[in-house]
């Protein structure tokens, strides 16, 4: 269960930091993208999906403009948007977001990168919810193989993906 008071305090602090940085840099400065994305993630964790989407789309625009549409930071932001879409039940849009993030990360970072494993794991959750257990198993197998090598079998993320895979049979 999330610690909502702590998350709200983090959000308030980050909002103040972001406001000060925007005054110094201007509202569309690319250096603001990480803070805006972090604020979007906090809004998501707090259940404020509309604000989270707005912030993440703003961060996506800044990353795309400054780093390019193919950059891993762009992919990470698309992945976060996919998480919100999944939580909202828009499975087709969530799957598209995760597939896009996966393609970008695989191209930029290679098949054996933890970001690729993250994207596969998130895609697997959507595929499972869409009823495509076979494709979900394949995505989890890929994710698990990467996490086993990159993080090791005892890492909490590896264990979580392994549990998810076992639940699918």
Q: Note the pLDDT of residue 144.
A: 97
Alpha-carbon distance of 5 to 15, in angstroms, equals 15
Residue ranges of the alpha helices (H) in 46-132? 49-67, 72-88, 91-109, 114-129
Residues 33/66, Cβ–Cβ less than 8 Å: yes
Neighbouring residues of 51: CB distance < 8 A, sequence distance ≥ 6? 40, 43
Q: Note the pLDDT of residue 1.
A: 75
Q: Note the pLDDT of residue 2.
A: 80
Q: Which value, in Å, is the radius of gyration of the alpha carbons in the chain?
A: 17
Alpha-carbon distance of 141 to 120, in angstroms, equals 9
| pLDDT tens readout for residues 18-47 | 999 999 999 999 999 999 999 999 999 999
pTM, whole model, 2 decimals?
Answer: 0.94
Q: Show the domains of the chain with their CATH numbers.
A: 1-67 (no CATH), 92-169 (1.25.40.10)
Q: Write phi, then psi, for 72 (nearest 5 degrees).
A: -60, -30
Position 5 confidence tier, pLDDT thresholds 50, 70, 90: very high
Position 99 confidence tier, pLDDT thresholds 50, 70, 90: very high
| pLDDT tens readout for residues 130-156 | 999 999 999 999 999 999 999 999 999
Tokens of 38: 């972090």
| pLDDT tens readout for residues 35-86 | 999 999 999 999 999 999 999 999 999 999 999 999 999 999 999 999 999 9
């Amino acid at each position: 269960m999330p610690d909502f008071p702590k998350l709200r305090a983090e959000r308030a602090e980050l909002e103040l930091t972001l406001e000060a940085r925007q005054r110094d840099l201007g509202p569309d400065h690319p250096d603001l993208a990480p803070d805006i994305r972090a604020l979007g993630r906090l809004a998501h964790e707090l259940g404020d999906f509309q604000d989270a989407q707005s912030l993440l789309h703003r961060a996506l625009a800044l990353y795309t403009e400054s780093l390019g549409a193919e950059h891993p930071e762009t992919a990470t932001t698309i992945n976060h948007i996919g998480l919100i879409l999944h939580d909202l039940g828009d499975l087709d849009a969530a799957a598209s977001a995760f597939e896009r993030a996966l393609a970008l990360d695989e191209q930029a970072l290679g098949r054996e990168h933890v970001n690729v494993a993250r994207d596969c794991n998130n895609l697997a959750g959507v595929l499972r919810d869409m009823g495509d257990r076979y494709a979900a198993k394949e995505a989890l197998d890929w994710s698990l193989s990467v996490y086993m090598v990159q993080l090791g079998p005892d890492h909490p993320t590896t264990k979580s993906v392994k549990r998810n895979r076992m639940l699918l049979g």
